[in-house]
Amino acid sequence: MEESTTLLQIQQEIDILKSMYGGEVEDLRLEGLTPEERQYHTTAVRLHFTPLKTYSEQRPDCHIMCIIKLDTDNEYPTSPAKFTVEDYKGITPDELDELQVLLQVEMSKAADESRVVFYDICLAVKQYLQDHERPEKPSMYHVMEAKRLEEEQQRQQHEEEKLKQQLEKEQRRAKHIEEENDRYINEKREERRDAAAQSRSSSVLRSPSTGMEGITQQQCTSPRRNRSSYSFSESSSCLLDQVLTLTTNGKQEKVIEIQYIMHESKDAPHKTYAVVDRKTRAPSVLHCWTVNIKQSYINKRAKRSGQVTDDDVRISDFKSRIATLEIELATSFKNLSSEFLVEYEAYSVVETMTEIVIYLLQPFIQTFNLSRHYKRRIPVTNESYLTLIAKGCLSSLAYLHQRTIVHRDLRETCIYYDYGEENFRIADYSVERRLLEAVMNYNNKEPASVYPATPGKSGQKKDVFRLGVILISVFRGKRPKNVSPRIPSRLSPNFRELLSYCLDPDEATRWHAERLL
């Protein structure tokens, strides 16, 4: 009696579904049933679900649908019905997984209550399809938004490609300049070799009494004379084509050949030379600082009387500063290594009777620095380019600040773009500024600065403030004159927020470099 009642409930529910949804319900009970299967109340129904609520004789065609097959066994409805998703469209795979979990929970709940579940399943699936129904065709707003995003992406790609081409052009130009310099240097060397050879042959012809013995002696002593001419006792103003030996951070000797002068400062006794490693031929950059101390040594009367002159005090203070820098270069700066830094390779301090010369060696980078934007006075409005500058500088500053090293003189001429690493790197940190201050202090002069005074006392926070000023300067194509420059409104909100954290006049609330990353 209970079995027939259950069969009647199933039949009635299927009839109700057919009357409500018409072609969406397909009864599978008559397909291939054996007499033994007919003896039990097994059921199979295929439901073609759509979000439509109206009756249709034919199976409706809709852009969102789900076909589910329901199977029961002879224990149904006390055991859960089994379902299989045969097909679907208009919903995502994640939404399908969510629907399947919903059906499984509903069927388990119905089995616990010994309740026929077909009608409830239909209502649940149709409601889910209605809640997740999307238009078959996108709206005008979505079409316009997609077009805008595509145009924005194309514009950004075009700008990146343009910047890449510009960088490649600069790289080719720098390479061409380097090749021309090498060619010019090689020509001059050949000319000097020819002139020297001609001079030696002329001297031999003019001294016939010398004979082979004199020639042999000249050939033997000539290299020795050349080596002595390369010593540090020579004036630093005559370094071209000389060979120098410097001390690396690992206390090893590095022999370099000076090629040509790259830059000479007008305000300080500082020169920059292009050099190459004598062994590996790798190019480097040599900084040379010269301090004239001759006037202290020629005052012989004061020396004999035991008096200490003002020059002696100044020289003693200068030597003390240089000795401190030497110790730091051998300790704190020894293990510095970052893709965002231009490290110091070697150094040497040489003192003679008339001068003190400080040599500082850095690797040569095939690149350009940010000063070219100032010279051309062309604003750089590409925010992705500005972001690349900010990322490289903040990474450099964070690395230095974590090791209690302050740059002290961040400027556009010490921020380089590295073609190999494709990022911006910082050079001339800490040591060069302190060398400048020591030399200028010895000469009773104040180091000049092209930027307005930076507010605050902390060196690290001053580095961050100066970076904000440089980013605005690159954006405008010129240096600001005010201590706290105005942040341009044309920048994006995110970039303006970054600059506001850099240029916060209150040093206590100004962000550190590591936090800005």
Q: Give percent helix, percent strand, percent coil of the chain, each to the nearest 5.
A: 50, 15, 35
Q: What 3-state DSSP class applies to 359?
A: strand
Cα angle 476, 262, 374; round to 5: 5
59-73, 122-136, 183-197, 451-465: least confidently modelled range: 183-197
Angle between helices 118-131 and 93-112 (to 10 degrees): 150
136/457: higher pLDDT: 457
Give, in order, the Cα–Cα distances in Å from 251 to each of 283, 364, 395, 481.
Answer: 20, 21, 28, 44
Per-residue b or e along 12-32, where b marks 16 or more CB atoms closer than 10 Å to that residue's CB: ebbeebbeebeebbeeebeee
Give, in order, the Cα–Cα distances in Å from 37 to each of 6, 34, 42, 115, 314.
Answer: 16, 5, 7, 22, 112
Look at residues 62, 51, 55, 66 and name the one whose alpha carbon lies nearest to residue 23: 55
**CATH class of domain segment(s) 239-364:** alpha beta
pLDDT on residue 393: 92
Give, in order, the Cα–Cα distances in Å from 91 to each of 52, 65, 128, 327, 420.
Answer: 15, 8, 10, 69, 47
* Alpha carbons 51 and 89: distance in angstroms, whole number: 12
* Alpha carbons 325 and 400: distance in angstroms, whole number: 16
pLDDT on residue 364: 84
Contact between residue 503 and residue 470 where contact means Cβ atoms under 8 Å apart: no
* Alpha carbons 213 and 457: distance in angstroms, whole number: 71
Structure tokens at 269: 């006794």
Cα-only R_g, the chain? 42
pLDDT on residue 279: 87
Query: In this model, does residue 186 exceed pLDDT 90?
Result: no
Rank 286-300, 348-362, 386-400, 443-457 by mean pLDDT and report only the highest.
386-400
pLDDT on residue 397: 92
pLDDT on residue 505: 87
369/8: higher pLDDT: 369
C-alpha count within 13 angstroms, C-beta hemisphere, residue 219: 10
- The share of the chain scoring above pLDDT 90, in percent, equals 5
Domain 2-131, second-level architecture: Roll (3.10)
Rank 50-54, 105-109, 195-199, 373-377 by mean pLDDT and report only the highest.
105-109
Query: In this model, does residue 444 exceed pLDDT 50?
Result: yes
35/186: higher pLDDT: 186
H/E stretch holding 47 reads: strand 44-49
Rank 31-40, 101-110, 168-177, 443-452 by mean pLDDT and report only the highest.
101-110
What would the pLDDT profile of 269-291 be if each residue is shown by its tens digit?
888 888 998 888 888 889 898 88
Per-residue b or e along 325-353, where b marks 16 or more CB atoms closer than 10 Å to that residue's CB: beeebeeebeeeeeebbbbbbbbbbbbbe
Q: Are strands 270-277 and 367-369 parallel, antiparallel or unpaired?
A: unpaired
* Alpha carbons 113 and 374: distance in angstroms, whole number: 81
Read off the pLDDT band of 229 (50, 70, 90).
very low
Section 180-207 average pLDDT: 63
328/235: higher pLDDT: 328
Section 116-136 average pLDDT: 78
471/311: higher pLDDT: 471
* Alpha carbons 428 and 287: distance in angstroms, whole number: 10
Q: Locate the DSSP E strands across 383-422.
A: 415-418
For domain 370-431+442-517, give its CATH number from 3.40.50.300, 1.10.357.10, 3.40.980.10, 1.10.510.10: 1.10.510.10
Q: What does pTM read for this prediction?
A: 0.51
C-alpha count within 13 angstroms, C-beta hemisphere, residue 312: 10
pLDDT on residue 500: 92
Query: In this model, does residue 422 exceed pLDDT 70?
Result: yes
pLDDT on residue 74: 74
Contact between residue 64 and residue 134 where contact means Cβ atoms under 8 Å apart: yes
pLDDT on residue 84: 87
H/E stretch holding 84 reads: strand 82-89
Read off the pLDDT band of 174 (50, 70, 90).
low
Domain boundaries, the chain: 2-131, 147-196, 239-364, 370-431+442-517
Q: What 3-state DSSP class applies to 292?
A: strand
Read off the pLDDT band of 241 (50, 70, 90).
low
DSSP annotation string for 236-291: GGG-TT-EEEEEETTS-EEEEEEEEEEEE-SSSSEEEEEEEETTT--EEEEEEEEE
Rounded to the nearest integer, the mean pLDDT of the chain is: 76
pLDDT on residue 233: 35
* Alpha carbons 91 and 133: distance in angstroms, whole number: 8
Q: Which residues contact 150 (CB under 8 A, 6 or more apart)?
A: none
